Amino acid sequence: MLSLPSALGKRDQDGAEGGRSVAVDLVRVIGVVAIVAGHTWDQRHFAQAGIYTWHVPVFFVLTGYLWKSGRSNRLELARRSQTLLVPYVSWLVLVTVIWFGFRAAVGDPFDSHTLQRLLLGGNWISRPYSAFWFVTCLFAAAVLLRWLDSVHRFLPWFTAGVGLAWCIGDRYPLAMVPESFGVALPALFFLLIGTLLRRFRETIDRPVLVGLVLLVPAWWLGWSGALDTLNMKGANLGTPVLSALMAGAISCGLLLVVEGGEHLIPAWGRRLVFVVAACALPIILTHTLSLAITERLGLPSSKVTFLIAYFVPLAVALVLRLTPARRVLF
The answer to whether position 61 is within a domain reads yes
C-alpha dihedral, 290 to 295 to 299 to 302, nearest 10°: 70
- Strands 16-17 and 20-21 turn out to be antiparallel
The answer to whether position 7 is within a domain reads no
The answer to whether position 84 is within a domain reads yes
Residue 246 CB partners (closer than 8 Å, separation 6+): 53, 54, 218, 221, 222, 227, 238
Answer positive or negative: Cα dihedral of 251, 254, 258, 261: positive
Q: Which is more confident, 223 or 12?
A: 223
What is the value of pTM for the model shown? 0.92
The answer to whether position 268 is within a domain reads no
Phi, psi of 20 (to 5 degrees): -100, 145
Cβ neighbours, 10 Å, residue 278? 17
Number of folded domains that form the chain: 1
For position 2, what pLDDT does the model report? Answer: 46
Report how far residue 35's alpha carbon sits from residue 259's, in angstroms, rounded to the nearest whole number: 21
For position 14, what pLDDT does the model report? Answer: 40
Task: Yes or no: say if 260 and 207 are a contact pair by the CB < 8 Å rule.
Answer: yes
pLDDT tens digits along 78-120: 999 999 999 999 999 999 999 999 999 999 999 999 999 999 9
The answer to whether position 291 is within a domain reads no
The answer to whether position 251 is within a domain reads yes
Q: What is the amino acid identity at position 113?
A: H
Residue 151 has pLDDT above 70, yes or no: yes
pLDDT tens digits along 270-329: 999 999 999 999 999 999 999 999 999 999 999 999 999 999 999 999 999 999 999 999
Answer positive or negative: Cα dihedral of 37, 38, 39, 41: positive
For residue 231, the cross-strand partners are: 236
The answer to whether position 312 is within a domain reads no
The answer to whether position 151 is within a domain reads yes
For position 29, what pLDDT does the model report? Answer: 98
3-state secondary structure 280-311: HHHHHHHHHHHHHHHHHCCCCCCHHHHHHHHH
* Structural domain containing residue 160: 38-263
Residue 7 CB partners (closer than 8 Å, separation 6+): 19
- With H, G, I as helix, E, B as strand and everything else as coil, classify residue 182: coil
